[in-house]
Structure 1
Amino acid sequence: MPFKSIYYSERFLKIIFGFSLFMVLVMGGIAYKHIRQLSRSTADVQHNYEVHLELEKLLSALKDAESGKRGFIISRDSTFLEPLLLSSLELDKNMEHLKFLTKDNPEQQKNIAELKAKIVKSLDIFKKTLDLAATDNLNSPEFIAGFREGRQTMNSVRFKIIEMTTHESDVLGTSKEKSSKNISNTPMLLYYVLILSLLILLLTYLQNSKNLKVLKEKNELLETFKKSTTQSEIISKHGNWIWHIEENTFEYSDNLYRLLGEEPQSFEANLANYMDFVHPDDVDKLTEQVNKMMENEDLPFIHYRIIQKNGSIKHFKAYGKLLIDSDGHKKILGTTADITDEIENYRLIEKRNLELERSNKELSSFNYVASHDLQEPLRKIQTFLSRLEEKEQDHLSNNGKVYIERIKSSSTRMRSLIDDLLQFSRTNRSEEALEDSNINILLETAKHDLVEIISDKRARISSDFIPSMKVIPFQIKQLFLNLMSNSLKYSRELTAPVITITYSQTKASDLPKIKYSKHNLYHTITVKDNGIGFDQDYAEKIFILFNRLHNKNEYSGTGIGLSICKKIVENHNGYITAEGDINNGSIFTIYLPLS
């Protein structure tokens, strides 16, 4: 996942925010630790001070005892012995207190034991020398030796106290150095951690602000989309509903109420209230489908009717699909559409199809009449005209002969018109199946039907090889027949007709005037002649039924031939175009899809 996507994710922001809180807790822990260290340092100083004080008291008591002893020796005044007695009591208290204060320090405990032994020895010497002094044995060797030993013992006590004091000072100094180092690093560390935490919190705040802005925009977009959806529901006549499977509750959109002919949210959304609107004949069917929906958690397309309170009957179509959200909650999202208009349109189409089928039957009847009943009196007219010419030729006036010729011409034209109408009617039916056919054979067959006129006009017809195609054979033959007949009919005087038929393939994108085609490639057959041509402005009109560009006295014909060509090409899902240049011939191009 790209970093940018991670950065904008909600999970990443939660992690950053949690990390920031963790850093704040770490700072609090560090601050608490250093405050504890400061408290411990203060306690160490206080402890050291108390030890120092007790040692000083101890030393002071020993000095007082020694001074009292000397005063007694010099003055023989027993009052000088009172400090000695008091000092003995204080010494015991001081030693116990020192022992308590240094209980966590094995080295000092050892020093106290040694100090106590030295003090006991010193007191014993004090007592011995005092006893000698009381008996006036000040000059005795024993007194002098004891006095000297007492002074040495006192010095050793003093040195031991100094040693203990020095040890406490060293411990205090080490503790102060360590505490000072920690205290000196703590502000900078706290400062850096605080700055980092503030930066992270600021980053999180900025991103949250941005997310809130985006969320606001999305909420506005969702609100717009909701309004658009509501309008879409109204226009398309459908409503939405949700079935919360676990809670077995329903939600209906406002337009679903409107489809029922009610005001939005005018009744509680549940099955019982909805079933009150269902047509009685469809209640059982809909109930069965709903039960299947609840059992299978799915709702395929179902159709039923409802009756609005005003008596209107509406046709509904409903569909539902299971949806599981991110929390695993199941719900079915459903859509119900009012298809009343579709049903009515379908019935209308059925009615029109019946009318069309009836019209087709009538057209078939017309074809039968045209091919039999209309041609029979026409044949009789032509027969009686022939007999009239044979038997009454000499008795007819010149006007009568002219009239007979006009009648013959009209009857012949009427026969051609009936034949062409029958042919057009036949090509108008495209039910015949497509067959894989040899187009070259169909072309040669069409040429054979025109062999007399081709010979009379000394026409030359050349053609490319055309591959086999799936076509309606007789219609393709009729297509070639009509196009070649058209070229022969409209040939120039004193000029032998030249008809060139070529084949190629054309992409759908290159088809002229065709914007969309479901086929990619087309067979292209071109029929080119050197006849009289036509004005390009009439290129579309020449395919219209009964449309003629020339007077019937100039060229024979009914104006149906090219209409038949267009109908044949359309029956094959193709296209036909025409290009003309007056006195320079015409080109007809046929495009048939390559299957």
Structure 2
Amino acid sequence: MLLKSLYSSERFLKIIFGLSLFIVLVMGGMSYQLIRKLSKSFEDVQHTYQVHIELEKLLSALKDAESGKRAFIISNDSTFLEPLLNSESELEGSLERLKFLTKNNPEQQKNIAELKIKIDKNLEIFEKTLDLAQSNKIDSPEFISSFKEGRQTMNSVRFKIMDMTTHENQELGLRKEKSSKTLSNAPMFLYYVLIISLLILLLTYLQISKNLKILKEKNELLETFKESTTQSEIISKHGNWIWHVEDNTFEFSDNLYRLLGEEPQSFEPTLENFIAFAHPDDLDKLTEQVNKMMENEDLPFIHYRIVQKNGTIKHFKAYGKVLIDSDGHRKLLGTTADITDEIENYRLIEERNLELERNNKELASFNYVASHDLQEPLRKIQTFISRLEDKEQANLSDNGKVYIGRIKSSSARMRSLIDDLLQFSRTNKSEEAFEDSNINILLETAKHDLAEIISDKRARISSDSIPSMKVIPFQIKQLFLNLISNSLKYSRENVAPVITISYSQTHIDDLPKVKYSKHNRYHTISVKDNGIGFEQEYAEQIFTLFSRLHNKNEYSGTGIGLSICKKIVDNHHGYITAESKPNQGSTFTVYLPITN
């Protein structure tokens, strides 16, 4: 909690400092803007003043030239022509400086262009009148006309200069007005900024108070979580540790000490003290893995053994991952788990697997005996019974004939039982490869195998078109064979069997007695007949091995056929159900998962 409090205080100081710095920056920025505006106003006034000066210089040069020309005409003294000779260069210089000063003012640039045309024209008239004066043609009409034209041109130049001066004054006035408005609004803006800053500080204070309250609550939750984590470590038999990479120091959780058989924090959490518990046979391996961890700053899953002080050997599994905090410090967060029970359970499973493998081998031997050794004497019994019937029938008494009949019936049932057991054993193996199969072809093959009995009973079988599925072909054929054979066997006397095979799809939510499945939809194949049926209470019992609902003298069979169906459906991760009523037929429904 102390660390939390310090962190909150530091964060609070950072926020206050940041807000204060922000306010200072805002005020400084505003002051800078005001100074810039004042400086700009001064520059605007100076600019206008310079434009006025240049315009005055330009007008003065023209006046000097005009005065010199008139003095020369009156006195015929050539010294009065010096201002006229110097005025051209002065006029050119003034015009260039005016262009530079008004380069950002398109209207003034236009005025300067017009002014230059007027000045050029004026200078041209100067030259003309001067030539006439030097030729003593002062009284000529041409001189008088040019002299008047020169005066008019001079007046137009003066008016243009006055227009430019007036325009410059107007620009200066607009700039002053804008600057004055901005400068007058600045104090109010600064006041608003100050008020907003104070509101931000107030809101920050309120938020900090709220955060402190939340932080206190979360701190309490963290304390609860810490205690819960400690209990979780004890229950799950694991401990946590931290390696501070830069400082090369370690932290061990209390339960890591307990896993070593020691009291919490009973020794200094160093690498050397921990490795001291390593099993001698695993010491080199553990040391090598720790060195790799120090070098790569990473620890993948490692397994090793430790020896507690009381001599108990424990199996450990450890894992670590680097974490870089907000200050850039690297830590390796590690977890060490006691997997001794897992190792023991794994060994127990291995022993049971070996036992199961032995049982499977014994079952395979039984299958071999059932398919060869048992059937061979049974075939001989049936052969000798057949010979007795053929050759000794006349010599047998009535009781002997009855006994022979019973022996023949029993041997036939025994052969059927052995065949069904072999079939069930074969179906019990689900490792056959699944493959995309045409279910309609498998159904037709099963019907073909039963063609003789179907014909004898004059049965009618109809079926929907069934889409291809990923199945074990042999087993699905056997499924159809057993279901159709069951319907034929338990048909009503003197009633031709009618068997209907239909197809649909069913959602998992609509499957009976199924609450969870990794598949959402199922192929649904129903086999419905009009046979003798049975009571619904036996709907699950009939799928049990050797289960029979009728006397063996009434109906033949071993009670294995529907068990084979159940096993085939289980091998395909599906379900099979039965619905029936006495003398109203039965419906067997097979649900096979739809896989992508």
- CA distance in structure 2 between the aligned counterparts of 1:377 and 1:250, rounded to whole angstroms: 78
2:513 aligned counterpart, secondary structure: coil
- CA distance in structure 1 between the aligned counterparts of 2:196 and 2:520, rounded to whole angstroms: 66
2:501 aligned counterpart, secondary structure: strand
Q: CA offsets per residue over residues 272-322 of structure 1, 9 Å max, x none?
A: 100110011111111111111111111111111101111111111100011
Q: CA offsets per residue over residues 381-436 of structure 1, 9 Å max, x none?
A: 22222222333333433333222222221111111000000000001112221232
- CA distance in structure 1 between the aligned counterparts of 2:19 and 2:385, rounded to whole angstroms: 115
Residues 339-358 of structure 1 correspond to what in structure 2 (within 5 A)? 339-358=339-358
One-letter amino acid of the structure 2 residue matched with residue 455 of structure 1? S
- CA distance in structure 1 between the aligned counterparts of 2:524 and 2:201, rounded to whole angstroms: 74
1:505 counterpart residue number: 505
**Deviation for aligned residue 1:480:** 0.7
Residues 174-185 of structure 1 correspond to what in structure 2 (within 5 A)? none
Q: Does 1:264 align with 2:264?
A: yes
- CA distance in structure 2 between the aligned counterparts of 1:473 and 1:465, rounded to whole angstroms: 17
**Deviation for aligned residue 1:226:** 0.6
**Deviation for aligned residue 1:456:** 1.2
TM-score when scaled to structure 2?
0.67
Q: CA offsets per residue over residues 153-172 of structure 1, 9 Å max, x none?
A: xxxxxxxxxxxxxxxxxxxx
**Deviation for aligned residue 1:507:** 2.7
Distance of aligned partners of 1:10 and 1:478 in 2 relative to their CA distance in 1, 3 Å threshold? farther
CA contact (8 A) 1:315 1:338 kept: yes
Residues 571-586 of structure 1 correspond to what in structure 2 (within 5 A)? 571-586=571-586
CA contact (8 A) 2:297 2:332 kept: yes
1:247 counterpart residue number: 247
Residues 118-267 of structure 1 correspond to what in structure 2 (within 5 A)? 204-267=204-267
Does 413-422 or 374-383 show the bigger shift? Answer: 374-383
One-letter amino acid of the structure 2 residue matched with residue 233 of structure 1? E
Q: CA offsets per residue over residues 235-255 of structure 1, 9 Å max, x none?
A: 111000000111110000000
Does 547-556 or 332-341 show the bigger shift? Answer: 547-556
Distance of aligned partners of 1:206 and 1:13 in 2 relative to their CA distance in 1, 3 Å threshold? farther
**Deviation for aligned residue 1:200:** 7.1
One-letter amino acid of the structure 1 residue matched with residue 554 of structure 2? E
- CA distance in structure 2 between the aligned counterparts of 1:357 and 1:336, rounded to whole angstroms: 35
- CA distance in structure 1 between the aligned counterparts of 2:463 and 2:193, rounded to whole angstroms: 94
TM-score when scaled to structure 1?
0.67
1:480 counterpart residue number: 480
1:286 counterpart residue number: 286
Q: CA offsets per residue over residues 473-519 of structure 1, 9 Å max, x none?
A: 22111111100000001111111100011122223333222222222
- CA distance in structure 2 between the aligned counterparts of 1:259 and 1:373, rounded to whole angstroms: 59
**Deviation for aligned residue 1:19:** 5.1
CA contact (8 A) 2:12 2:208 kept: no
2:550 aligned counterpart, secondary structure: coil
Distance of aligned partners of 1:201 and 1:479 in 2 relative to their CA distance in 1, 3 Å threshold? closer
- CA distance in structure 1 between the aligned counterparts of 2:526 and 2:224, rounded to whole angstroms: 57
One-letter amino acid of the structure 2 residue matched with residue 427 of structure 1? T
CA contact (8 A) 2:504 2:523 kept: yes
- CA distance in structure 1 between the aligned counterparts of 2:10 and 2:501, rounded to whole angstroms: 73
- CA distance in structure 1 between the aligned counterparts of 2:19 and 2:12, rounded to whole angstroms: 10
**Deviation for aligned residue 1:262:** 0.6
Does 334-343 or 510-519 show the bigger shift? Answer: 510-519
- CA distance in structure 1 between the aligned counterparts of 2:531 and 2:9, rounded to whole angstroms: 78
One-letter amino acid of the structure 2 residue matched with residue 356 of structure 1? L
1:295 aligned counterpart, secondary structure: helix
2:536 counterpart residue number: 536
User: Which has the higher Rg, Structure 1 or Structure 2?
Assistant: 1
1:552 aligned counterpart, secondary structure: coil
CA contact (8 A) 1:578 1:587 kept: yes
**Deviation for aligned residue 1:197:** 9.6
Q: Does 1:363 align with 2:363?
A: yes
CA contact (8 A) 1:23 1:197 kept: yes
Distance of aligned partners of 1:440 and 1:10 in 2 relative to their CA distance in 1, 3 Å threshold? farther
CA contact (8 A) 1:499 1:530 kept: yes
- CA distance in structure 1 between the aligned counterparts of 2:567 and 2:411, rounded to whole angstroms: 27
**Deviation for aligned residue 1:199:** 7.6
One-letter amino acid of the structure 1 residue matched with residue 516 of structure 2? Y
**Deviation for aligned residue 1:376:** 1.3
2:5 counterpart residue number: none
CA contact (8 A) 1:503 1:524 kept: yes
Q: CA offsets per residue over residues 109-140 of structure 1, 9 Å max, x none?
A: xxxxxxxxxxxxxxxxxxxxxxxxxxxxxxxx
CA contact (8 A) 2:19 2:201 kept: no
Q: CA RMSD for the aligned pairs? A: 3.1
User: How many residues get paired?
Assistant: 428
1:189 counterpart residue number: none
Distance of aligned partners of 1:11 and 1:258 in 2 relative to their CA distance in 1, 3 Å threshold? closer
- CA distance in structure 1 between the aligned counterparts of 2:501 and 2:282, rounded to whole angstroms: 65
CA contact (8 A) 1:17 1:204 kept: no
**Deviation for aligned residue 1:193:** 12
2:394 aligned counterpart, secondary structure: helix
2:504 aligned counterpart, secondary structure: strand
Q: Could you list the runs of 5+ residues in structure 2 that have no partner in the other structure?
A: 1-7, 25-191
Q: Does 1:418 align with 2:418?
A: yes
**Deviation for aligned residue 1:16:** 5.3
Residues 31-50 of structure 1 correspond to what in structure 2 (within 5 A)? none
1:452 counterpart residue number: 452
1:397 counterpart residue number: 397
Distance of aligned partners of 1:18 and 1:521 in 2 relative to their CA distance in 1, 3 Å threshold? closer
Does 411-420 or 529-538 show the bigger shift? Answer: 529-538
CA contact (8 A) 1:317 1:337 kept: yes
